[in-house]
Chains A and B, each alone.
Chain A
């Protein structure tokens, strides 16, 4: 019943956009539109010579049905026999006379046109990426692909119908890496509204569904793509996606017919992923988990609540009572318990996605993954957990009045009712230490990563609110709840920029004090509060 943090490596799947390094010169693009005079003559001559050299190849001849004397010839650009993707010229003629030339030509191509991958190998890559079966008739085309960011790459391209999207893939013909993929279906961002787990209304950033039918939980307003997948209780498929065996398809994306969303866990997982992105952006100017707008996938309904009676203990602990960050921007939210069921401590458990602090906690594990990489064992592991709790509580305070529950120093209180699972104000309420002298030293829980997190959690609380430590009796003058932003920034900066992956509590003390000093100056209230707080919990 603790949030688990797993670093499962996942394959980049269908909806992602891959980027490779360029291997050739800057592409020079010529967009030609010649209809008269010398320009037309020059291009006419040049096209003829390109045709002779094989740099242009006839694609199609089209008789003009409206002007019967005219003819249109469509020519594809080729480089040493390989078509140049999107390089094309259309020449209109009347008898011997050329009337107009329009097109796009690429220059400066310099690459080896021989692939090392076979077409069959490219098919296998695309099938793996898309989860679709291409079938024998879908032979990928070898092309020279001009890159938006410069250069050219020799690539195989094919379109794959996933369950409800049409995606074009470009696979590097030498390395087999994904160069580019894009949906060839039109997408349109649209705002909807939804009702969360706790019955609160909020906005849903959705996208018009395929073919203009319905709406899908794909956030296209925010800079990163944020998808929410409805696993419809299919644990087998959930695991297959988490293990990279299959990629999710557009059919897995949660959907709603009228854009008034009523599935609480979908609404909350989707909107809170966006809120957390916004919190990091607006507070710290951070762009997503990796600082580069990594896609965020939230998986909800991994199981059905009524299946709990046949589920193993590990499934119950993982997919009913837990939420976890699975690496690579992927979150899984547990289903909670049937309303008639209680934990042994009397708590009922709602959908975990319904708690903003749980969502922010899990996403912060992603931030840690891409920054300090705090090792998930012992004190560094407890610091990893604690940073997630700090940002979770901070995000809740940030949205005070907008999120349905009360902002507080409890973690998970909106899903684990009553009381949540941890308290930053009084860690001992949940059996967690509030002083270094009573830290957990056993091997369980990776050396108590969810237990000893109580100590730095209490530092965050004391530095903000102030108070006296229960064990040491040392009083802390906090910066005050109104100035929580200072402690948030101290911690964010310390944990993302300065903290080594193997930090122990003592290192964390030094790093956070330095961070406060850098940000607010030596002797500042923030520096004093952080220093006093570490003193109070017995970390020197």
Chain B
């Protein structure tokens, strides 16, 4: 992720240096961010136990969560800019799981247990490369933007549960459902708009709203179904603006 971010930044800077557009201006934004919408995804993990296949199916709810975002834009024309923004959000994530564990003594008599794991880790790193339309009215400026996005998602997926059992093994008591982080990358898009207010020629504040989307496939287990996550969603960010 980091190397991609660096490459994108370098190419933008190169474009800035090569261009001789009128009134070149740069904007740097430093924002706190908040992912407003939630995302849901499912995982199915299988394991061998007592000479049969067991499985744990989990429905995850990655809710809203805080993060940060930093951006850099270059107005290569009066109303047009290219911008690069990157950031990270974490989401308040829980997983409702159903485990099916084979019986040690009988075929086709899996024991079922259910539960919810809270406080799972979910981190979404984003880099957006945008074409930005900018406008200005007095101390206010406005922007609308769209472009491709790069995502990296790292999410905890639940694996083979630990459990207690005793004869006659009709039930299990799950003692722990270990979570292991998996991550992968993907490309998508983003679109959004922002408004800023300048205190001086070089300092201001601003807010943006951005909708982005990328589908990330995590591969927790070879030969098993992948976990598809719709990353992104609607995100707001607000903070400092520096103009030069």
Contact = CB atoms under 8 A, between A and B. Distances in A.
A203 B167 CA distance: 15
B51 A221 contact: no
B163 interface: no
User: Interface size bucket, B side?
Assistant: 10 to 19
B105 A278 contact: yes
A274 B107 contact: no
A347 interface: no
Interface string B64-89: 00000000000000000000000000
B147 interface: no
Given A205-B105, A274-B105, A402-B106, A223 B51 contact: no
A203 B52 CA distance: 10
A221 B50 CA distance: 11
Nearest to A282: B168
A222 interface: yes
Interface in B147-163: none
B168 A203 contact: no
Contacts of A205: 104-105
Given A191-B51, A192-B51, A259-B51, A201 B167 contact: no
Given A203-B50, A203-B51, A259-B51, A191 B168 contact: no
Contacts of A191: 50-52, 102, 104-105
A281 interface: yes
A221 B106 contact: no
A193 B107 contact: yes
Given A193-B51, A259-B51, A221 B167 contact: yes
Contacts of A281: 167-168
A202 B107 contact: yes
Contacts of B167: 221-223, 281
Contacts, number: 37
A214 to B, nearest CB: 15
A240 B190 CA distance: 84
B158 to A, nearest CB: 24
Contacts of B105: 191, 203, 205, 221-222, 274, 278
Contacts of A259: 51
Contacts of A193: 51, 107
Given A203-B104, A203-B105, A278 B50 contact: no
A102 to B, nearest CB: 32
A259 B103 CA distance: 16
A201 B168 contact: no
Contacts of A221: 104-105, 167, 169
Contacts of A223: 167
Contact of B168 (A189, A192, A278, A402): A278
Interface of B: 50-52, 102-107, 167-169
16 contacts: A189-B104, A191-B51, A191-B52, A191-B105, A193-B107, A202-B107, A203-B51, A203-B105, A203-B107, A221-B104, A221-B169, A223-B167, A259-B51, A278-B105, A281-B168, A282-B168
Given A192-B51, A203-B106, A222-B105, 17 more contacts: A189-B104, A191-B102, A193-B51, A193-B107, A201-B107, A203-B104, A203-B107, A205-B104, A221-B167, A221-B169, A222-B167, A223-B167, A259-B51, A274-B105, A278-B168, A281-B168, A402-B106
